[in-house]
Amino acid sequence: MNYTITTPLYYVNDRPHLGSAYTTLASDALARYQRLRGRSVMFVTGCDEHGQKIQRTAEAAHVSPQENCNRISEEYRHLWSRWQISNDRFIRTTDPRHKIIVEQFFRRVEAAGDIIEGQQQGWYCVACEEFKDDKIDSEEEERPQCSIHRQYLEWRDEPNLFFRLSHYQEQIEELIRNPNFIFPINRRREIENFVNKGLHDFSISRVNLPWGIPVPGHQGHTFYVWFDALIGYLTALLRSSDPPDLDIIIKRGWPANIHIIGKDILRFHAVYWPAMLMSAGLEIPHKVFGHGFLTREGQKMGKSLGNILNPETLLDQYGRDPVRWYLLRDIPFGEDGDFQQQRFNDLVNNDLANTIGNLLNRTLSMTRRWFSNSVPPADTAISVNHPLAEAALTAISITLQAMEKLDFRCASETILKLAIDANIFLNDQAPWSKIKEEKRKSEVASDLYAVLETTRIVAFLLIPILPELSVRLQKQLGIEKTLDGAEVCVDDSLWDLHLRWGNLVEGNPLPEPTPVIARLELETKK
């Protein structure tokens, strides 16, 4: 079964920031999870490279727009590879094949009678690349500002081509009534309010904007950046050997199963895009998930405040696992979240180093010492009635359900709780005391087996959230063929098999323990 998942296509007006990394990391976790479940995943990310914002950025940097796009998109590509993002595609909207797909799409929409000429008047935010007429701060202001960017809006009065969105009022109403389409639920209400006010046609072309795809048959018009960018999700699905053809794309994993985006661009994905697709006779994505925004120590991140968290710096300082853990474990996916340095250190140290890392480390040390460096005989621990087996079974079922709902926090907490249960069990059983009596050695073997087996399940459950740490845990447990969810599971029941209690093989050699994660010292309050 196919599973297509997309991140937004990021604007190349600036370098990647933590906001873009957040969406991409969460999407990566979902992509890995779906692969482990045996689905043939198509994970798309990329860059959105046209429009006024990009043109102006290039002008300010005294380079051509194309040069600027090449440079910044390369930074994105490089960043994702450093984060070991498992994307299958990286689409750039300046790809020549994309131009052809946009033209084909437009011709379909035009043939459906949904393109009309009109005059566009209104206040425009270049930073948002959006008309703001329904969102401006104050009617009285002579020159209103954008409430998001605090930049002056620009008055536009020009002939544009319009997409007949109003024609799709009923179909969009029906679509957003589908309880499985927009997530999280509170954001669905925002969209309902917007749609209930009545949908207006929106302009899909610009005049006097050279940095865009020319509209076929309409001299002097280039496509509005959003019209072109959304179609990028389709172009991305083409294989390198495919000719650029919309009819082929629909066989390559369209419709998307999910678009993961930030809450600020939900309207484009849940209203404009579905209507465009309806007009072009293409299927609608199954789900749109609008996550929240990140702040830092309670403050909005911005250049002027000088508090932007650079994902590259975070990676250099802490590595992949700690950042993934913090973002996915601490912030309810869908709600806004705050990055706090102290809490970051505490969670990494308590959860990963102390609870999970230590559990494995001390269990391995004892096992190796008393059972000749290998997995001890299981005896009673193999029984599914063992308290840790029961705990593991519950944790597996909750984690899988949570991952289906993109509830990364619940999944992470559940896995962590399983590790805590194993720690408690170990402390209660105190094998270090029991081992002093020779006749209790088999009991000790059982206890240690049960704890190692729980740690193995913790490791396998963790794959989507912390693939790297998981692989280290797997290796420490002597598992040779490790899994990280980056590749399609050829055997789609493989993960399920790994998630069965009692899979750790008695007598298997256990390597010498090394710390799986370093503790963080709080060196700065900044």
Residues whose CB is less than 8 angstroms from the CB of residue 277 and which lie 6 or more positions away in sequence, other chains included = 255, 283, 284
Q: Please report the DSSP string for 156-174 in residue order.
A: EEEEEEEE-GGGGHHHHHH
Task: State which residue, 19 or 244, has the beta carbon closest to ligand MSP.
Answer: 19
| Cis before 65 (ω within 30) | no
Is 244 a binding residue for ligand MSP by CB under 6 A? The answer is no
Q: State in angstroms the smallest separation of the CB of 21 from ligand MSP.
A: 9
Stretch that binds ligand MSP, among 7-15, 25-33, 111-119, 212-220 (CB under 6 A): 7-15
User: From the centroid of its chain, how far is CA 405?
Assistant: 13
Is 20 a binding residue for ligand MSP by CB under 6 A? The answer is yes
Stretch that binds ligand MSP, among 3-11, 55-63, 186-194, 467-475 (CB under 6 A): 3-11
Q: Sign of the CA dihedral 54, 56, 59, 64?
A: positive
Cα gap 21→27, rounded to integer Å = 10
Task: State which residue, 265 or 359, has the beta carbon closest to ligand MSP.
Answer: 265
Burial class (CB in 10 A: 0-12, 13-18, 19+), 246: buried
Is 68 a binding residue for ligand MSP by CB under 6 A? The answer is no
Stretch that binds ligand MSP, among 103-111, 224-232, 427-435, 467-475 (CB under 6 A): 224-232
Q: What is the largest CA-CA distance in the chain?
A: 91
- Which among 416, 431, 429 is positioned nearest to 469, based on CA atoms? 416
Residues that bind ligand MSP (rule: CB under 6 A) add up to a total of 19
Is 425 a binding residue for ligand MSP by CB under 6 A? The answer is no
Collapsing DSSP to helix, strand or coil, 39 comes out as coil
Is 276 a binding residue for ligand MSP by CB under 6 A? The answer is no
Q: State in angstroms the smallest separation of the CB of 425 from ligand MSP.
A: 39
Query: Six-digit token pair at 208?
Result: 């006097």
Please pick, from the candidates 42, 69, 102, 294, the single residue that binds ligand MSP as defined by CB under 6 A: 294
Are 143 and 152 in contact by the 8 Å Cβ rule? The answer is yes
Cα gap 44→509, rounded to integer Å = 40
Task: State which residue, 302 or 507, has the beta carbon closest to ligand MSP.
Answer: 302
Please state, as a whole number, how many other Cβ atoms lie within 10 Å of the Cβ of residue 155: 11
Task: State which residue, 46 or 376, has the beta carbon closest to ligand MSP.
Answer: 46
Is 10 a binding residue for ligand MSP by CB under 6 A? The answer is yes
Cα gap 420→428, rounded to integer Å = 12
Is 73 a binding residue for ligand MSP by CB under 6 A? The answer is no
Stretch that binds ligand MSP, among 19-27, 210-218, 459-467, 472-480 (CB under 6 A): 19-27
Task: State which residue, 19 or 485, has the beta carbon closest to ligand MSP.
Answer: 19
Is 3 a binding residue for ligand MSP by CB under 6 A? The answer is no
Is 22 a binding residue for ligand MSP by CB under 6 A? The answer is yes
Collapsing DSSP to helix, strand or coil, 241 comes out as coil
Is 356 a binding residue for ligand MSP by CB under 6 A? The answer is no
Cα gap 204→80, rounded to integer Å = 31
Interface residues for ligand MSP in 92-131 (CB under 6 A)? none
Is 229 a binding residue for ligand MSP by CB under 6 A? The answer is yes
Stretch that binds ligand MSP, among 17-25, 108-116, 201-209, 504-512 (CB under 6 A): 17-25
Stretch that binds ligand MSP, among 18-26, 366-374, 482-490, 512-520 (CB under 6 A): 18-26
Cα gap 357→515, rounded to integer Å = 7
Cα gap 367→501, rounded to integer Å = 19
Binding site residues, ligand MSP, CB under 6 A: 8-11, 19-20, 22-23, 48, 229-230, 232, 261-262, 264-265, 293-294, 301
